[in-house]
Chain A
Amino acid sequence: MIKFDSVSKVYKGDFPALEDINLEIHEGEFVSVVGQSGSGKSTLLKLIYAEEMATSGEVYFNSSLLNNLSRRKLPYHRRNIGMIFQDFKLLPRKTVFENVAYALEVAGIPDEEIQENVQQILDIVSMGEKMKKYPNQLSGGEQQKVAIARALVHAPMVIIADEPTGNLDPVTSLEIVQLLMRINELGTTVVLASHDKDIVDKVNRRVLVLDNGKIIVDCAKGKYKAS
């Protein structure tokens, strides 16, 4: 479903963030991308959601080439993906419900459907009670749950999670990862970037280890291995 073909990414006037990446991610996989800060994890994810374009090589999503994705088509590409970030990236002026609904509104989903789906997904992440709260009234863990609900609500093909537990305590982190695992069990592909050993070990699925922009380990079922 996602394919990297000899991909390199060089930021302007900088050393290469990614070098010669060859990678294929299939539907239904749960891939943990690990590595130290600056190893290129985030860049790898950004190439998938087309925030960055490859300097050389080709990135495919659903067998369409992302390299020259036009700005006009970018929103449609993004609607295939659900994204979760370390800093939650919730809209501060919108309530929990509005935040989740926004992902459907931009796609032109009818109101009744939005009402129903948002309610349902918030119940799934057990945030149904706090629908009318604003993000700053929630704890970090709760905010991340709302972000997960938003990432899920439009039934994306892939969930991309960039250090989703980076700002959370171990117990909450575990809760979040279990949520991701459940989502994966239901058939959604998950790509998780993390440098948290406990988390990756808990998932115990395919692990990619990045070091200095290169994949040094790719094992089908494994634990976090520091380079």
Chain B
Amino acid sequence: MFLTIRRTFREAIQNFIRNGWLSIATVSILILSLYVLSVFFVVTSTANSIMKDVQGKVNISIYFKPDVSEQTIAEVKADLEGFNEVQSVRYVSKEQALEDFKKNNASEPIILQSLDEIGGNPLLASLVVKAGDPTRYQAISDHINQAAFFSEISRINYGKNKEIIDRLNSIVATIKKIGTSLGILFAAISLLITFNAVRITIYTHKQEIEIMRLVGASNYFIRMPFIFEGVIYGVMGTVFSMLILFISVRFVTPYVSSAIPSSNLVEFYFNNFGILLGGQAALGVFLGVIGSLIAMRKYLKV
């Protein structure tokens, strides 16, 4: 059993090498599809992490009229916290707001001076609301607009990042769509190419397969090399795709980092090395073996 596996595997390697150009062409296509898929994986993951970064900075601030009591605000806070879409609500008192304001404008003596001239505290108490899912801010603001405490509110400030988030959201969704469809397309192409390579191998080996049978080779002994050939395609495709991916990541990182400081693609590559390698190897070998199996079913009647 072990002997047969070793021999048929060696046979597959021999076929792979002695088939030269056909093997190179097949592996190239496989490299291309695995590469495209992993590039999209890297791009979507990076976009997602940027999204998360930005999303953390989005919130809704609700400013209350000056005469609203802390008691009422606490009730509103409790009400909002009970709302499903809300992740957290933070209370900022008038005094806190004043302190923050002073701190933020410490370097602007004129502003501080005018504040002193007004006397008292002109700032309003507020609640800072964060949503669990940034696409749900609309629901939260609808809820506030219809709430009983609406009359107590002076004004509502939607985070300035909302527009950016909406745009990012749609960009990521588009990337995902394009990535998935291109990925499926390329996977289908590599499946066809592997199928074709093995089909041609079977075709050119037709006479050889006949001879093998005459010499007393079992079906198993004749078939295994073709399956292993598929495995070799997958492994070779993965190795080269990982290599090219590394090179392109290295090349692109300086440009991306200058545009988006929070990203580091090389680091991402190494942090996700296992996922990238494992995923590609699994997919590559799967495509190679399935291609071989289909070709054998169709053309290798033993």
Binding site for B on A (CB under 8 A): 49, 51, 71-72, 74-79, 83, 89-93, 102-103, 105-108, 110, 150, 154
Contact across chains for B214 and A78 when beta carbons are under 8 A apart? yes
Contact across chains for A106 and B3 when beta carbons are under 8 A apart? no
Contact across chains for A106 and B216 when beta carbons are under 8 A apart? yes
Contact across chains for A102 and B3 when beta carbons are under 8 A apart? no
The residues of B that contact A107 with a CB separation of less than 8 Å are 216
Can you sample 8 A-B contacts with CB below 8 Å?
Answer: A72-B218, A74-B213, A75-B216, A75-B217, A78-B216, A83-B215, A91-B208, A150-B215
Shortest Cβ distance from residue B86 to the other chain A in the assembled complex, whole angstroms: 68
Q: B297 at the A/B interface (Cβ < 8 Å)?
A: no
Contact across chains for B216 and A103 when beta carbons are under 8 A apart? yes
The residues of B that contact A108 with a CB separation of less than 8 Å are 3-4
A74 to B213, CA, bound (A): 9
Q: B219 at the A/B interface (Cβ < 8 Å)?
A: yes
Contact across chains for A78 and B14 when beta carbons are under 8 A apart? no
Contact across chains for A110 and B18 when beta carbons are under 8 A apart? no
The residues of B that contact A72 with a CB separation of less than 8 Å are 218-219
Contact across chains for B216 and A76 when beta carbons are under 8 A apart? yes
A106 to B221, CA, bound (A): 7
Pick the most buried of B18, B208, B215: most chain A CB atoms within 10 A of its CB.
B215
Contact across chains for B14 and A93 when beta carbons are under 8 A apart? yes
Known contacts A72-B218, A76-B216; 18 further A-B pairs (Cβ under 8 A): A51-B214, A75-B213, A75-B217, A75-B221, A77-B216, A78-B214, A79-B216, A83-B214, A83-B215, A89-B207, A89-B211, A91-B212, A93-B15, A102-B217, A103-B216, A106-B215, A106-B216, A107-B216
The residues of A that contact B207 with a CB separation of less than 8 Å are 89
Closest 7 CB pairs of A and B: A78-B216, A79-B216, A106-B217, A75-B218, A75-B216, A103-B215, A89-B211
Q: B7 at the A/B interface (Cβ < 8 Å)?
A: yes
Shortest Cβ distance from residue B217 to the other chain A in the assembled complex, whole angstroms: 4
The residues of A that contact B212 with a CB separation of less than 8 Å are 91, 102, 106
Contact across chains for B219 and A91 when beta carbons are under 8 A apart? no
> Which residue from chain A places its CB closest to the CB of B220 in the assembled complex?
A75
Contact across chains for B218 and A106 when beta carbons are under 8 A apart? yes
> Which residue from chain A places its CB closest to the CB of B302 in the assembled complex?
A71
Pick the most buried of A49, A72, A108: most chain B CB atoms within 10 A of its CB.
A108
Shortest Cβ distance from residue A130 to the other chain B in the assembled complex, whole angstroms: 19
Pick the most buried of A49, A51, A103, A105: most chain B CB atoms within 10 A of its CB.
A105
The residues of B that contact A76 with a CB separation of less than 8 Å are 216
Contact across chains for A93 and B214 when beta carbons are under 8 A apart? no
The residues of A that contact B218 with a CB separation of less than 8 Å are 72, 75, 106
Taking CB atoms and an 8 Å cut-off, the chain B residues in 176-198 that contact chain A are none
A110 to B213, CA, bound (A): 20
Contact across chains for B7 and A105 when beta carbons are under 8 A apart? yes
The residues of B that contact A74 with a CB separation of less than 8 Å are 213
> Which residue from chain A places its CB closest to the CB of B215 in the assembled complex?
A103
The residues of A that contact B14 with a CB separation of less than 8 Å are 93
A106 to B219, CA, bound (A): 10
Shortest Cβ distance from residue B201 to the other chain A in the assembled complex, whole angstroms: 11
> Which residue from chain A places its CB closest to the CB of B217 in the assembled complex?
A106
The residues of B that contact A83 with a CB separation of less than 8 Å are 214-215
The residues of A that contact B302 with a CB separation of less than 8 Å are 71
A24 to B207, CA, bound (A): 32
Shortest Cβ distance from residue B197 to the other chain A in the assembled complex, whole angstroms: 16
A71 to B217, CA, bound (A): 11
Given A83-B214, A106-B218, check contact A92 B7 (CB 8 Å). Answer: no
Residues 64-89 of chain B, each 1 if its beta carbon lies under 8 Å from chain A, else 0: 00000000000000000000000000
A76 to B215, CA, bound (A): 10
> Which residue from chain A places its CB closest to the CB of B19 in the assembled complex?
A93
Contact residue among A71, A78, A105, A150 (Cβ-Cβ distance under 8 Å from B219): A71
Taking CB atoms and an 8 Å cut-off, the chain B residues in 1-38 that contact chain A are 3-4, 7, 14-15, 18
The residues of B that contact A92 with a CB separation of less than 8 Å are 208
Shortest Cβ distance from residue A113 to the other chain B in the assembled complex, whole angstroms: 12
A183 to B214, CA, bound (A): 20
The residues of B that contact A102 with a CB separation of less than 8 Å are 212, 215, 217
Contact across chains for B217 and A93 when beta carbons are under 8 A apart? no
Shortest Cβ distance from residue A134 to the other chain B in the assembled complex, whole angstroms: 10
A49 to B216, CA, bound (A): 10
> Which residue from chain A places its CB closest to the CB of B207 in the assembled complex?
A89
Contact across chains for A93 and B18 when beta carbons are under 8 A apart? yes
Shortest Cβ distance from residue A133 to the other chain B in the assembled complex, whole angstroms: 15
A103 to B4, CA, bound (A): 13
The residues of A that contact B208 with a CB separation of less than 8 Å are 91-93
Shortest Cβ distance from residue A96 to the other chain B in the assembled complex, whole angstroms: 15
The residues of A that contact B214 with a CB separation of less than 8 Å are 49, 51, 78, 83, 89
A150 to B212, CA, bound (A): 12
Shortest Cβ distance from residue A62 to the other chain B in the assembled complex, whole angstroms: 15
